[in-house]
A and B are shown apart, each in its own frame.
Chain A
Amino acid sequence: MRGTLRNKIVRFVAVIVAGGTLLGTTACGSTPAGAASGSGATVWSLNDSTWSSVKETFVEWNKDHPNEQIKNEEFANDAYKEKIRSAIGSGNGPTLVLSWGGSPVTDYVSNKNVVDLTSDLNSVVKSKVLDVVAAEGYRDGKLYAVPVGQVQPAILWTNKAVLKEAGISAAPTTWDELLQDVAKLKAAGKTPISLAGGSKWPYLMWAAYLIDRIGGPDVMKDILAGKTNAWSNAAVIEAMAKIQQLVDAGAFGDSYTSMTADDKADTALLANGQAGFDLMGTWVYADFASINASFAKNDLGFAAFPKVEGGKGDPTMLTGNLANYWSVASSASKTSRATAVSYLKSNTYSDSIVKGLLSSGGVPPVKGIENEIKSADDGTGFLTYVYNAVKKASSYQLSLDVALPSAQGQALLNNLEQVFLKQITPKQFAEAMNKTLE
């Protein structure tokens, strides 16, 4: 009788193991979204409106290449970021891998997840794409990531009507002017600077600009190179002190810690006339128009981040996102890779993509399109302003959380937020960040 019980238990275990294996295999097999097979290629793209012109090229391509179909699947921005890494790590990613440059591309390259595209696409990229944007796709002189989409630097947006009301005639060009404007705006009962602190990453724009304006581009270069104690640089300490100076002056109002960029809380505050400035990426241009069309047409201003007196930095330097990038997955079949490469050859900033981007308010980082930009301008001069700013930029710092290795980027977001909340001093910030370099 005890034997029967043992038999039952054994049978149990067998059932569980068998069932587990079964479920396990089906789980592995059920990732059809990735795993390129056969002759076609697969691609994961984003469902933002700015991607429509790129997505059209897939439709066009599929019409012209019945034997080399590209299967496009769309994701929301955050969902994509969370999915792509594990998909690539497990070899189930798409043929065309979308990224924002920075440390993910470095990781893909060092793990051989993506292939070298130099021989196929170097000349196309070099001849078409603005140098600052193209450079991000190279690692050790080899091309791994081909730019796509619009260039997205952070700029200082202004509400001209609010500034006028507070007695300010033009956007500030120096740090001291900014401080004076903050005081005037506060006196006028406005939130001087709209800041989406709840999202954390908008803090990075303030840090990157201030560090560069004070210490020049070498400070961040040392940090990105992982030099010991690079965060203790005097420029970093001063930048953090300046941030706290703004906080003390009440520059961000008393609600910035809960405002998030996803809710467009910061842009709404500017567009509705409650704030004077907003330091944010150019991608919000379309949002301003949708929140308050007459504001976008008449009162929306844009300016460069002010320079800091006595600082080493060049005021033409920019920070923000460069563009998106395509890489080709090494796990894809040879024919899939060939399809992806020939698609990239004919569709890297083709005329129709450039036109499509411009009409949706995005600026493609493409050489020699001054005329196209002029004819696409909606009268505000926005497209021309962004294009010239990028073309003239002496250096362009990629958003720090993307540029730094992931763990360091997250530590930066965390510590920088504490600087804004005045929970740590500039020196404590430097010490905490130095630890991430060890």
Chain B
Amino acid sequence: MANAIYQKEDDDRRSTSAKLPKNHLHRGPSLLYTAPALLFFGVFALVPLVGVAILSFTNWDGLSAITFNGLGNWNRMLNDPLVLNAIKITIILTVVSWAVQTPICILLGTFMAGPQKYRALLGVLYFIPLLFSSTAVAITFKKLLDPNFGVGRAFGIDWLAHNWLGDPKTALYAIIFVVSWCFIPLHSLLYQGAVRQVPTSMYEAATIDGAGTVRQFFSITLPQLKYTFATDSTLMIVGSLTYFDLVYVMTAGGPGNATRILPLDMYLKGFKSYDMGGASVVGVIILALGIAVSLILNRLSGSDKMESQMEGA
């Protein structure tokens, strides 16, 4: 299915470049077909986005009149130790969860891509965490990790009965563990798909040349995954900039500010302190970070000039 679409795009591109119709910029379906998508994007993404950007220059407590105060909020927020701390925590969360998930996902994806039946079965089992709502996952892990009533105490495993979510030194890593548990299935699935796209002829050639499984993995599979790697890393990193529900339910940003990531800081400022202006500044910072990271990753991976290495493409 996916192949068919790419194939069609390729055909389009080739025929367009061949004919290069000067007076016919839009061959193909009418632009109006994109209207529903653009409409939703405009109403649910662009309009609120502009609203938040404007609110970041105002004072508003949710009740009284909105008053402009120029760069006041920006000054306040960029000097707010909570915001600076939140930026730091968010970066740690993003980098560590990317570094933990990516190798596991590539290995699992490669494993699941094999044709054996038992691997398909295991693949289905690995997929299960993705089906649960993250709130349910968060509540469950919170109970499991409870130092008084959790699994550690139940089975008498001392190190597991540690106060994982209540110790400022371990809380963030406990969160990263749960985040990984939740999202590894999705990313493994992407890698599985990518591994299956690698032409078997490459492996056959490598086998003839005498390369073993490990060598084949590093010399063929990994290089062939490079675009998936770029896409998946972008998804993962931009995704971790916006984690909210898991952290909110498990620690609510605590203990202290050990897990107070940017989205949570924004929420607490906006809907607990009723400082909509300050919360909007944090929102704009998250947005700017997300866009910057996507652009940088896109540039680094060179996926803007993405070419296929597939046979016959």
Contact = CB atoms under 8 A, between A and B. Distances in A.
B163 A257 contact: yes
Contacts of A1: 23-25
Contacts of B35: 12, 15-16, 19
A417 B273 contact: no
Contacts of B145: 258
B296 interface: no
B26 interface: yes
A23 interface: yes
A198 B163 contact: no
A255 B148 contact: yes
B163 A254 contact: yes
B274 A421 contact: no
B75 to A, nearest CB: 14
Contact of B63 (A88, A265, A409, A418): A88
Interface in B163-193: 163-168
B31 A86 contact: no
Contact of A20 (B26, B43, B63, B251): B43
B275 interface: yes
Interface in A80-106: 82, 85-86, 88-89
A200 interface: yes
Nearest to A17: B42
Given A15-B35, A198-B252, A407 B148 contact: no
Contact of A257 (B31, B62, B254, B257): B254
A12 B166 contact: no
Given A20-B39, A418-B256, A410 B147 contact: no
Contacts of A268: 148-149
Contacts of A414: 82, 257
Interface string A257-286: 111000101001100001000000000000
B166 A19 contact: no
Interface string B28-52: 0011100100110011000100000
Interface residues of B, number: 43
Interface stretch (A107-115, A212-220, A305-313, A383-391): A107-115
Interface string B235-260: 00000000000000001101111000
A76 interface: no
Interface in B53-100: 61-64, 82
Majority secondary structure, B binding face? loop
Given A8-B31, A198-B254, A407 B273 contact: yes
A12 B26 CA distance: 15
B63 A89 contact: yes
A390 B275 CA distance: 35
A408 to B, nearest CB: 9
A268 B153 CA distance: 15
Contacts of A259: 146, 148, 166
Given A107-B61, A107-B63, A258-B147, A198 B256 contact: no
19 contacts: A1-B24, A11-B32, A12-B32, A15-B32, A16-B38, A19-B43, A85-B274, A107-B61, A197-B166, A197-B254, A198-B254, A198-B255, A200-B254, A254-B163, A255-B147, A263-B142, A406-B272, A417-B255, A418-B257
Interface of B: 23-26, 30-32, 35, 38-39, 42-43, 47, 61-64, 82, 142-143, 145-149, 163-168, 251-252, 254-257, 268, 271-275
Given A16-B42, A19-B43, 12 more contacts: A8-B31, A15-B39, A16-B35, A20-B47, A24-B43, A89-B63, A108-B63, A198-B251, A257-B166, A258-B164, A407-B274, A410-B268
